[in-house]
C-alpha cells in the first residue's frame, strides 16, 4: 500500500488544517452545515483513538458578516478587528459542534513570534501536548488580532506544518477548496492531477495559483507547507474539505507529499521556517564557503557588513557577496557591537577587547542553510 496513505490511515496523531473558504459562505458568514460536516469526520476518527489537532482558518472571514463587511478588508487594523469578532464566533461554533460527540475543544492562538522565540515555542509544544493528554481537541489559529504585518504567518498552511512537527504528528492533512494539486489551473481542460509528489523534480513546470477572495493562501503556501512538513519527516495529503473522510481513511484521492527521510532537530526546523531575520550579515566568499560548504561557524573575520537592529540571540540572515540569503543563524552579539569586530580574528579580538570576544559570531550548531529555502 502507498506509504503516505497508509500512514494517514493508521496515524495515532493527526494535524488537520482547514481553510477559510471551506468553512464560510460567500457572504463571509460561518457555514454551520460545513463546520458540522467536518466535525463529523474528525469526531469519527477521534472515536478510533486518534488524537486530532485542528488548525482552522476562518476568524477574519467569520467576522466579515457581523461587521457588515462585504469582502476581506485590505488594511491590517480592520482585518484584526474582524479577527477579534470572528474568532469568538468560530470557536463557539466548533465548541457546539464537537459537543454533539461529547468532545471538548481548546483554543490555541499562535503568532509567528511565538514560533520564533525559543521559550514561547517550547511552551506552545507543552501546552498542545497537555491538551492532547487531557483528551481535548486543540483548535489552533494564527493570533491575527496582535500579529504585525512584518512578523506573521499570513496563512495557516505554514503554521499547520510547524504544528505537525511541534506535536510530533504522524501525518498532516491539508483541506482546501481544491481536491488536489494539478499541473495547471484545474478549471482548464487537460489539467492533470498530481497523485504523488516525492521531491522538487515532481513540481517542475507546475503552475501554482494564489488564494481566493476569503482566504489568503493558495497552492503556493500549501506546497511550501508540504515541503516544511515532509522535510521534518511528516507525510502530507492535500485534498478538498468535502473529501475529508476519504482522505483520513487513506483512499487514493488528492495529492500525497512523501517525506524525504531527513529528520532535522526542532531547533533547525524552527530556525529555517518559523523565524524572520532581524538583520543581515554580509559574508565574503571565503566565509560563504566555510559556512555553507563546510558547515563551519561564522567568525568576525569573514563578515564585510552588518544591517539591522538586533540583539544577541536573535535570528539574522547571512548573505553572500551578491546579497542572496544563504543561511540564517542565532547571533552571539548585539548589532551595535559587530562593526568593531569585522575583519578581525577572534584571537586578536580577545587580546584587544577581552576573552569574552574570543568566540564565533554564530556557532555552527545555530546555523541553518537556506539555499533550497530561497
In the structure grid, which three cell numbers stand for residue 139, read together?
483548535
Q: How far apart are CA 229 and CA 235, in angstroms?
A: 7
Greater confidence, 338 or 352?
Answer: 338
Residue 274 has pLDDT above 80, yes or no: no
What tens digit of pLDDT does each residue of 198-216 get? 888 888 878 776 444 444 4
List the single range of 234-248, 317-331, 360-374 with lowest mean pLDDT: 360-374
Residues near 119 by beta carbon (within 8 Å), at least 6 away in sequence: none
The confidence score (pLDDT) of residue 266 equals 65
206 or 57, higher pLDDT: 57
Annotated binding site for substrate: 57, 144, 156
Report whether 29 contacts 214 (CB < 8 A): no
Average pLDDT, the chain: 85
Q: Annotated binding site for ATP: which residue ranges?
A: 17, 176-177, 216-222
Q: What is the largest CA-CA distance in the chain?
A: 71
Domain boundaries, the chain: 4-269, 276-369
The cell numbers describing 319, all together, are 548573505
pTM above 0.85, yes or no: no
* Rounded average pLDDT over 237-241: 95
Is 45 a residue whose pLDDT tops 80?
yes
- Cβ atoms of 183 and 206 within 8 Å: the answer is yes
| CA gap 61, 370 in Å, rounded | 34
Model pLDDT, residue 150: 45
Binding-site residue numbers are: 17, 57, 144, 156, 176-177, 216-222
Which has more confidence, 262 or 247?
Answer: 247
| Domain 4-269 CATH (choose: 3.90.75.20, 3.20.20.70, 2.30.30.100, 3.40.1160.10) | 3.40.1160.10
Q: Is the dihedral of CA 141, 200, 218, 24 positive or negative?
A: negative
Summarised one tens digit per residue, pLDDT across range 10-39 is 999 999 999 988 998 877 778 999 999 999
| C-alpha radius of gyration, the chain, whole number | 22
Q: Is pLDDT at 344 greater than 70 in this prediction? A: yes
- Cα–Cα distance measured from residue 132 to residue 164, given in angstroms and rounded to the nearest whole number: 13
Strand order in the sheet with 196-197: 105-110, 137-142, 51-56, 13-18, 171-176, 236-240, 255-257, 196-197
Q: How far apart are CA 223 and CA 219, in angstroms?
A: 6
The count of C-alpha atoms lying within 13 angstroms of the C-alpha of 150, restricted to the half-sphere facing its C-beta, is: 4
Q: What is the percent of the chain where pLDDT is above 70?
A: 88
Q: Which phi and psi (to 5°) does residue 214 adopt? A: -95, -40
CATH topology (fold) of 276-369:
2.30.130
Nearest by Cα to 170 from 256, 40, 51, 261: 51
Residue pair 279/316 in contact (Cβ under 8 Å)? The answer is yes
Amino acid at each position: 500500500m502507498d506509504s503516505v496513505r497508509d500512514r494517514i490511515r493508521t496515524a495515532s496523531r493527526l494535524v488537520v488544517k482547514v481553510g477559510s473558504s471551506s468553512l464560510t459562505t460567500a457572504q463571509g458568514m460561518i457555514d454551520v452545515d460545513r463546520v458540522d460536516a467536518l466535525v463529523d469526520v474528525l469526531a469519527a476518527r477521534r472515536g478510533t483513538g486518534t488524537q486530532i489537532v485542528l488548525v482552522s482558518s476562518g476568524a477574519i472571514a467569520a467576522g466579515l458578516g457581523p461587521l457588515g463587511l462585504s469582502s476581506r478588508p485590505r488594511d491590517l487594523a480592520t482585518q484584526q478587528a474582524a479577527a477579534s469578532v470572528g474568532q469568538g464566533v468560530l470557536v463557539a461554533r466548533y465548541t457546539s459542534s464537537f459537543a454533539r460527540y461529547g468532545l471538548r475543544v481548546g483554543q490555541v492562538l499562535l503568532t509567528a513570534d511565538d514560533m520564533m522565540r525559543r521559550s514561547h515555542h517550547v511552551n506552545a509544544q507543552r501546552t498542545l501536548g497537555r491538551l492532547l493528554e487531557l483528551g481535548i481537541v486543540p483548535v489552533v489559529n494564527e493570533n491575527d488580532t496582535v500579529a504585525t504585518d512584518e512578523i506573521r504567518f499570513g496563512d495557516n498552511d505554514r503554521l499547520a506544518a510547524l504544528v505537525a512537527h511541534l506535536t510530533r504528528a504522524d501525518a498532516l492533512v491539508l483541506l482546501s477548496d481544491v481536491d488536489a494539486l494539478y499541473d495547471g489551473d484545474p478549471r482548464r481542460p487537460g489539467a492533470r492531477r498530481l497523485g504523488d509528489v516525492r521531491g522538487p523534480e515532481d513540481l517542475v513546470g507546475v503552475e501554482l495559483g494564489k488564494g481566493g477572495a476569503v482566504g489568503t493562501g493558495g497552492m503556493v503556501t500549501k506546497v511550501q507547507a508540504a515541503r516544511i512538513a515532509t522535510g521534518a519527516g511528516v507525510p502530507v495529503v492535500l485534498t478538498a474539505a468535502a473529501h475529508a473522510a476519504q482522505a483520513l481513511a487513506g483512499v487514493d484521492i488528492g495529492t500525497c507529499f512523501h517525506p524525504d527521510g531527513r529528520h532535522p532537530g526542532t531547533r533547525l526546523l524552527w530556525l529555517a521556517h518559523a523565524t524572520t531575520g532581524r538583520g543581515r550579515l554580509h559574508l565574503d566568499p571565503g566565509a560563504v564557503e566555510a559556512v555553507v560548504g563546510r558547515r563551519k561557524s561564522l567568525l568576525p573575520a569573514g563578515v564585510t557588513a552588518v544591517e539591522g537592529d538586533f540583539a544577541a540571540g536573535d535570528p539574522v540572515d547571512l548573505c553572500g557577496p551578491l546579497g542572496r540569503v544563504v543561511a540564517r543563524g542565532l547571533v552571539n552579539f548585539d548589532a551595535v557591537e559587530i562593526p568593531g569586530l569585522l575583519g578581525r580574528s577572534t584571537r586578536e579580538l580577545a587580546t584587544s577587547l577581552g576573552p569574552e570576544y574570543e568566540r564565533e559570531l554564530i556557532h555552527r550548531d545555530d546555523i541553518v542553510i537556506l539555499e533550497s529555502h530561497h
